[in-house]
Amino acid sequence: HPENVKVHGPGVEKTGLKANEPTYFTVDCSEAGQGDVSIGIKCAPGVVGPAEADIDFDIIKNDNDTFTVKYTPPGAGRYTIMVLFADQEIPISPFRIKVDPSHDANKVKAEGPGLSKTGVEVGKPTHFTIYTKGAGKATPEVHFTAAGKGEAVSDFEIIDNHDYSFTVRYTALQQGNMSISVCHGGDPIPKSPFTISVAPPLDLNKVKVQGLNNKVDVGKDEEFTVNTRGAGGQGKLDVKITSPSRRPIPCKVESGASNEVHTVKYIPPEEGPYKVDISYDGNPVPGSPFTVEGVMPPDPSK
């Protein structure tokens, strides 16, 4: 009695299956009388090749006239499962099911200093993190494309952190725009490719401080210049002036159009030694901190 054969389980549900994830279903013949069960599982053209194909499965006979059929869909797409009993197809067969891809690149995020639009420098190691939780199993792929010929990066590695995240380390080799594409299971993740601007290598020895006198007049406008041409990096200049009584002194930094010549203006309020800290991209420039002596100007009435 093929009409009395029951079939149930996740492996014959219309949806919910994922490629490369094992599944199963149960065939219950306890009310069908005598006869053998036979199974056929086919996938549609395009799932594993140009033609439809038979899918391997294991059939396990249980004690109570039921059979467990185990199979792993090899790809996303449509599948047909046929169940025969005593050489007759049962009425509820064939089962038509749809298998989803095992991964979803849209659920992947990537972030970190190595993807920020500015901040990456030639020759300075950097990194970013790819988060794949909920996106299914797949190996992330990362490709770097620089403007010039030759290698875009060196020391490139992807480290599996075993918490659904991957750390990507690299060192940029060329200044200018660089494109970073991140894929999950062959599909680009949101915002990929990322475009970043790689700064020239940092060379602190190129920073020149000019006009910083050893002695300055208390109460008078003072100024000096910092020339950062060719120093590379992010171009971030920072000046701090501390008075003899260890208080910060206000100073104004005016940068030229090319951001290479910077004029620093301040008024020393008291006599004694001042400390001038000049840093570039967070690093003290050669000679910093500088010392300046504040002296009382000569009294013109004497």
2-100 is a CATH 3.40.50.1820 domain: no
What percent of the chain is predicted at pLDDT more than 90? 76
- Mean pLDDT of the region 147-158: 94
pLDDT of the residue at 34: 84
pLDDT at 173: 96
Q: What is the mean pLDDT of residues 217-227?
A: 96
Q: What letter represents residue 112's amino acid?
A: G
CB 176 within 8 A of CB 146: yes
CA distance 12 to 95: 6
Average pLDDT, the chain: 93
Question: Does position 43 have pLDDT exceeding 90, yes or no?
Answer: yes
Domain boundaries of the chain, sorted by first residue = 2-100, 105-198, 204-295
Q: One fold for both 2-100 and 204-295?
A: yes
Fold of the 105-198 domain: Immunoglobulin-like (2.60.40)
How would residue 57 be classed by pLDDT, with cut points 50, 70 and 90? very high
Q: Are 299 and 252 in contact (CB under 8 A)?
A: no
Model pLDDT, residue 137: 79
What are the tokens at 182? Answer: 């991140």
Q: To the nearest 5 percent, what fractions of the chain are helix, strand and coil?
A: 5, 50, 45
302: confidence class by pLDDT, cuts 50, 70, 90: low
The CATH classification number of 204-295 equals 2.60.40.10
201: pLDDT strictly greater than 70: yes
How does pLDDT run across 123-150, given as a tens digit for each residue? 999 999 999 998 887 889 999 999 888 9
